[in-house]
Amino acid sequence: MKEVTFINRNQKRWQSFEKTIHQDCDPDKLADQYIQVIDDLSYARTFYAKSRITSYLNRLALKIHQEIYKNKKEKSSRLKQFFKLEVPLILKETQPQLILSFAVFILSVFLGVISALTDDSFIRLILPDSYINKTLNNIQQGNPMGIYGETSQMPMFIAIASNNIFVSFYAFLMGILTHLGTGYVLVQNGIMVGSFVTFFYQKNLLGTSLYTIMIHGTLELSAITIAGAAGFLLGNSFLFPGSYSRMESFKKGAKDATKIMLALVPVFLIAGFFESFVTRYYQDLPVIVFLIIIALSLTFIIWYFFIYPHKISKKLIYTLHETNHNNNQIEEINTLHIQKNQHLTSSK
């Protein structure tokens, strides 16, 4: 059966399941829906293994499974489930957008570096003159990154965290203008970072600037780039609706992208904490302390946003496959019992 035929034949049934999942549904009805979906999933995995429909059925089966077995009395279970399952499964489907977003940002950083190297006045086109002049004054006083210590910790934390969250949601919402909108925000931020680093390189302070900036920048810049991926996802959902109507595809893409953005909020808060409460001590604490923070931050980003989504997806597929296998065995046993009873009845 062609994939389009398979989707057209079952799409209305799947959409009906999605609408009734979170309603007060009869457990037997939910169980029946679950069996139907994992049967469809097994078929899709066999014939359309790398298709989006297979990923969709994975997630639909997971939703029904969670609805059947969740403990409604546990108030924390929803939040735990959100970070442990929902967001990683969305990230698994968003890997192409993540790679594209990081590629655009990194290329933009290099563009900023080249521009700053070839034109000494370029940095003043990117950053305010007041900021540049203040930094030059700090360099003369032997405190090149002193700007991070000029404001009290808590006001600085609130301002930085708020600004970073605003920038990330701006990059995300610009996805409404397709890839061009989000791409513009990523290029703008990448050029700014490249120019900023080159400015310190020209002052023979590249090493100091890098480890100081990346104390908070590892999380902050990564999160902005992941927000860009959410923007690309939003744009993709409208441009490439696939088997869905354009509006239905956009609604689904917006919902998934919003979940990614909500998952980034704690990352921005931690990055803001580092920038406000830790970065200012770049001259007082051993460099190894900052390198450990950078390493742990980078490890977290790579693990949660790239490695873990693949692991949880494989685990889910294995679980659903085993469940389907067990259900088939139960069905075969029931069939044998029925046949045996029918045989005994006919013998009598």
Phi, psi of 70, deg, nearest 5: -70, 150
Q: How many residues does the chain have?
A: 348
Shared-domain flag, residues 272 and 141? yes
Stated pTM of the model: 0.75
Q: Exposed/middle/buried for 339, CB within 10 Å: 0-12, 13-18, 19+?
A: exposed
Residue 23 confidence (pLDDT): 60
- Residues 210 and 283 occupy one common structural domain: yes
User: What single letter denotes the amino acid at residue 128?
Assistant: P
Are 108 and 61 within one domain? no
Total domains in the fold of the chain = 2
Residue 84 maps to a domain: no
Give the separation between CA 74 and CA 72, rounded to whole angstroms.
6
Same domain, 224 and 120: yes
Q: Are both 222 and 290 inside the same structural domain?
A: yes
> Does 169 fall in a domain?
yes
Cβ neighbors of 59 (< 8 A, separation 6 or more) are 89
In this structure, are 98 and 65 located in the same domain? no
What pLDDT, on a 0 to 100 scale, did the predictor assign at position 339?
Answer: 47
Task: Give yes or no for a contact between 209 and 144, defined as CB atoms under 8 angstroms apart.
Answer: yes
pLDDT value of residue 150? 81
In a domain, 37, yes or no: yes
Q: Write down the pLDDT at residue 343.
A: 46
Considering the domain architecture, whether residues 268 and 170 belong to the same structural domain is answered as yes
- Which residue ranges in the chain fall short of pLDDT 50? 71-76, 329-345, 347-348
What are the angstrom distances between the C-alpha of 252 and each of 52, 176, 233, 258, 274? 13, 14, 10, 10, 34
Residue 143 resides in a domain: yes
| 323 domain residue, yes or no | no
- 137 and 11 in a single domain? The answer is no
| pLDDT at site 22 | 57
- Judgement on whether residues 58 and 187 belong to the same structural domain of the protein: no
CA distance 153 to 272: 10
Residues 190 and 117 in one domain: yes
- Estimate the crossing angle of helix 178-202 against helix 206-239, to 10 degrees: 180
Same domain membership, residue 263 and residue 121:
yes
* Domain contains 348: no
Alpha carbons 164 and 141: distance in angstroms, whole number: 29
Domain assignment of residue 7, given as a range: 1-70
Q: Are 183 and 104 in contact (CB under 8 A)?
A: yes
Q: What is the sign, positive or negative, of the torsion defined by CA atoms of 250, 256, 262, 266?
A: negative
**Contacts of 26 by beta carbon, 8 Å cutoff, 6+ apart:** none
Query: 200 and 120 in one domain?
Result: yes
DSSP secondary structure letter of residue 71: -
Q: Is residue 346 part of a domain?
A: no
Q: Would residue 267 count as lying in a domain?
A: yes
